[in-house]
Structure 1
Amino acid sequence: MTYNSLGAKEQEIKVQERIAELEKANQELRTEIIEHKQAEEAFREREEKYRNIIETVNEGIWVVDPEGRITYANKKMAEILGYTQDEIAGRNSWDFTDKENKSVIKSIIERRKQGVDESYELRFIRKDGSFLWALINARSVFNKDGKFTGSTGTLTDITEHKQAREDLIKSERGFRTLAENSPDWIARLDRQKRYMYINPAAVEFYGVTQESIIGKTNTELRLSPEKTKFWNEYFEKVFATGKPETIEYLYKSPEGKECYFDTQIVPEFASGKVTSVLAISRNITGIKEAEARLKETLNSLENQVKERTAELEAAYQSLKESEKGLADAQKMAHLGNWSWDLITGEVYWSDELYRIFGRDPQKPGASYEELLNYVHPDSRGRLENTIKGRLDGGARDGIDYRIILENGEGRVVHSRAEVVCNEQNTPVRVNGIVQDVTEQRLASKKLQQSEERYRMAAEQTGQLVFDFRMDTQKIEWAGAIREITGYDPDEFRSLDESFWIEHIHPDDRDRMVKSHKGFFRKLQRIQEEFRLRKKDGNYIYLEMRGVWLRDEEGKAFRAVGIIKDITERKQTEEFLASIEIARQKEIHHRIKNNLQVISSLLDLQAEKFNHRKCIEDSEVLDAFRESKDRVMSIALIHEELHEGEKDNALDFSLYLRRLIENLFKTYKVGNTEINLDTNLEGNIFFDMDIAVPLGMIVNELISNSLKYAFPGRENGNIKIKLYGERYVSESDNKGQPAEEFIRYTLVVSDNGIGIPENIDIESPETLGLQLVNILVTQLDAEIELRRGKGTEYIICFTNAEK
């Protein structure tokens, strides 16, 4: 082997070794690259994970560079400020606050550079211009070389919390203002029954300073063990149940003076738990003493009430006699009445109805099923259909049907019924009458058999008889034609229908045309009284009665009737009516005098107590005066009815003017000048059932305004308005006719200090407002109280047009 070949061999070996080294280095470099890529991938995954977390948290997060520019803001941060994330990035952090807080943010950034981490509240401005309060938790960020690279922070919206805190502060200030100036004793105690607050009125009870009471219990304040135990039991009950407690108790001072207190213990909540209680005590000694004096007054009035009761008993006896007269009239007419309660099933029968059906009066009225047992089989189906039709709202025509009594006797009765519905138009009661028409039916048959004799009898009795047949559509007349109408019989029979319309008195014409149509078109009975002009031009009163004769199937085929001269009877009735009106006016006059006597007795009793100085305050005297006003408001109604022109109807607008004039004379409100503004619609007439309660309502409301509405005022206004609005109800699909109503509205208002918010008009504590509620219910009316610049009562009720 030569030298050259040896050198080449060594060089080859070295080359191989170098190649091996390079391959090893290359392999290490590849491994390092792979590891670097894996590290980058892991970093990106962690970065993405943390970014997702930051983007989904419920707080705003931002990153600020050393100069205060926002380099990153999460989605919640943008949502709170009302921007997008891109709109926030790159802007200065103070761009989102007002001028006042820009310098604050800049100073905070300077503290960040010093490594000061802190929390603070700051006001920001949203994109839409609205403000928000935020809690900021900021932290400085430095690199590994200790160089300040910026800061990070979280932003939490505390606007509602801050507003609630401010409202709480305002509420507490308001509570303190009221409590400090309240005459009631007010104290707040925590769960350990330590005093957290006590107002000046209550401090006087302990005889020490307010500061020496706060933080102490009743035991530490040396309250007796019995009283401490008494109050602690109530405090514990309120803490346990979370419900307020009310206690009325008698307190005796060390000097021996007795006082009545009414105390309410009210829970106060925080986070759903009772954390403290309020104890509010009110001195009701005056009320208790007034109640005792009023009780004595009421006892003194009891004898007068007994006298009035005796008068009412006499009136009741008179009513019983009237009822007996009605029963006698039913007996003479063979007519009985009944009532069927559809809810309870109870049935009422009058005495005459028992006689008609031959039923034992000791038994209750026959039920529906028992009634059907009396009905002849041929009439039962028609009666059942008629009753069903009534309940379904059908026609109200009467029906004739046959009955069989227990002794086997057959009778014919005429029945008519009226269904009474509730507010939901559901039938609740059926009222009706039954008349024994057996004799009439027999008479009708005899009439058909002996028409001529009947006509002759009619002539002898001075009556007109008419006979209309359905088949011929002709009417026949007989009787005292000349005596009644002044026309010859032949002349009268030639007159057409227009004669009757032209000769009927104008005031009776529309009613008679309507009845005529009902008789001949709807085949109803007719019984009317009207005035007719005779041939000589004079008017006479006539009574017309007509019935339809029906076959066995109930089909009308013939109408017969009579017309008789009742002029003498009507003149007698008008004379008796004038006597009755005079009698009623005399009754009103006597009642008015009796009520004025009671009013005078109240005056004398009040003067007697006042003269003896039995009354230390004016509460009982006020009670006397209010009772007198209520009595006089009723007496004034009877006086108006006695002096009025209408029969038992009161011109209410005129009455109100007199009532208010009396009240203004009674209540002189210091030096206050009270102006009265009335707007009363004329021609409003009410009967006693409406006038008495409505007058008492006005009396209570006006007197309340005069007494309480204008303390310390130089002037005031009271307004009263009364008007009616007429409307017609819609007729239903069951044949019920439309009805006409008037809805009346009474408005009483003043511009005084207004009624306190703690007074509930639906359950008031004062006697006057309680009486108003009772009277409103009696009228079936609605009442509304409006508070504002004074007090306004609105009372509405509906009255059917008569």
Structure 2
Amino acid sequence: MKDYKEEPECHEETTALVNKDKKTTELKANDVACSQVKVSDEKSKVSDLIFRGGPRIIKDMLDTMVNPVSYKDKNGVFLLVNEAHARTIIGLPKEEVIGRTLLELARKFSDIPRKYIVEKRDLLEGCNEWIQIETEILNHGGTRTIEQELIVADGTTKTFILNKSALCDEKGETIGIVTVMQDITELRKTEKILKESLSSKNELSEQIKKNEEMYKTILEKTGQMVYNCDIVADKVDWLGSVEEVTGYTPEELKSAGVNLWMNYVHPEDRYKLWINNETHMKNGRNFRLEYRFQKKNGNYACLEENVTDILDSSGGISRVIGVVKDITEQKFASQSLQESEERYRTAAEQTGQLVFDFRIETHEVEWAGAIREVTGYSPDEFKNLDESLWIEHIHPKDRTETIKNLENFFRKKARIQAEFKFRKKDGKYIYVEIRGVWLKDEKGKVYRAIGVMKDITEWKCTLEKIEASEMKYRSLIQNFQGIAFQTDRNFIPIFMHGAVKEITGHTEEELMSRAKWKEIILPEDLPLLLKEEERIRDSTCNKYAKVDFRITHRDGKIRWLHEIYQKVLGKDGNPKLYQGTIYDITERKETEEFLANIKIARQREIHHRIKNNLQVISSLLDLQAEKFNNMECVTNSEVLEAFRESQDRVISIALIHEELHEGEGTEKLNFSPYLQKLIGNLFQTYRLGDAAISLKTELEENIFFDMDIAVPLGLIVNELVSNSLKHAFSNGKNGEIRIRLSRNDKLGHLREEIGPEGESTEFNLTVSDNGKGIPETVNLENPETLGLQLVSILVNQLEGEIELNRENGTEFSMRFKVENKL
């Protein structure tokens, strides 16, 4: 191993370099310089990336580099390696190298056949050598450039120049070591061949000169320039893209000298550059610096300078080598990126969004944007929430589904769009939406996910209100049994929704034309419809219209429709469109027709009943007239009595009609309340002086009779009660009249109002008094009085039976049957 810090002074010609194993290797000074320059250049690239871009951008970029590159922290732990270093040098995947020390990796190799890696010596011994060098760098800073032979992963032996540099933070404190390796195997092989094949020194020098030209070409092609400052000779050589970087030729810079170079540095950066140079010359610490330099054309360029030194045998600085490159575009791009990120961050904050950036390799998530506004946490608090705590902030009802979506996002690398409730720091829940996508590198490999999480509470609440409104509208439309429609100014349908198919049998699309709609309207109703349309269209005051018309349903049946619509005016005051509703009123029309028929039938029935009742009254008057015909002498009192009796009989019929009327059109009469009114009216008519006649009734409730039963039965009660009031109690004698009406069945009170149709129910009617009793000469089969004659006739009409009991006064008991009808 060759450490150029400990080498003797290098001359232009071949110099013997002796390593710790006393092995001698001939190395031309310019070769060393060029190798160091290239390695230093690679190191400066890495350093710049680490300081400027960070892990975000350098990992993928380093993987594209041919030179092996690594970065260790102060404890010797690998924090970063590129593919060339991991696979080519160590022979392991990056993931197995990162996070381990060199000794740990050496122990890992102790169990496999390949135990040698450093100059064919024991691996642990080689590791200890590297650790010593790195410890020195960590303690004293600076850069160490060494040459070393290594057995690489494929088992071949290769020669490398290793540039190990201290990496410092903003305070200048060393935080790690960057190692850049340059494979010079072919160069050494070439030198060996040249040494063996060339017989003269001139031939060897010529070949070395060619190598120098090659390095010079490489420097020029990479846009870098190198200066080699000989401290002893006070001489500076310029190589590489000198004119491209500065605008000056190497000869111009060489003639200008170091002091004039400082004059071209931007005034604000001169002091910084001067301090670094002074510190370097005193302490020998290598440094990297950026400053602005005025090019020959007067424009300023941003340069990056990496400086390292070459020590003589006494440990003093004999030569300073610097690599300078123009990083103006890089700085501009970095500044543009920062400005873009700032704009993006500001936009995210102003729009109430959180931006997340997830890296697969590090498994780290970075958050930015309106963190405090959305979550209530400070950025640091929110970023420190681990996965389990973050999941706990999801509402329990949404947690399972959200976890499922997140797992699908990370496992399948698919897009994500999910909504859930998130608990803020104050404990309140908000609605959030998370969206994310995966990014791929130039090789198509997924390496990163970015996305946003935003507060959608207000939008969600508005949406819920809209959905509730839409639900009400949908419910209204779904339960709406009509058709909502709109037509243009020519009454051509432009919108139709609702129970279109149920009402017409046609679909909405089929009826979206005036011609098709008019086709289903009955021809005899179409003129009425057209007349109504013309009226509302031409009218300046009438904006509403309604019309009933008929259509032919698709099934061939006729349907009645009721249409209500209004005129909607445009800005010009002319009809813009018409809108309204159509209802199927077929059932209503059929009901109206049915009710009209019922009304006619009822009127006929009423006329028939009146005619029958008038016929009864006429018969009663005939009977009364016949009674007078058989009398030789008729007094006024007898005439008055006859008229009063006829009046009572007519009243009994009138009460039936009154009860039926109060029963709101029912066909049957609740007979018991009717009897109460009838008897009360008779008691008012026949006042018997001071006689106290009481009434006792036992009338079963809910006995209903139609007119054919109620009229004759009412007349019978009228005659029997009138007879008792007139004849049973003479000379002011007190007494009692009893009336009883019931079903002739012990369980009759438990029966329904009407039994099964076709069957009949037997009833008992009893009218009695405790008066002086009816004379023995009275015979019910052949009565002489008009009242008893009428009773006998009516009982026969009802197909009933009547009995007369003269014990304890007078009692008439009647039995009759009534057929049950629904």
TM-score normalised over the length of structure 1? 0.28
User: Which of 1 and 2 has greater Rg?
Assistant: 2
Q: Indicate the structure whose relative CO is greater, using CA pairs within 8 Å and at least 6 residues apart.
A: 2
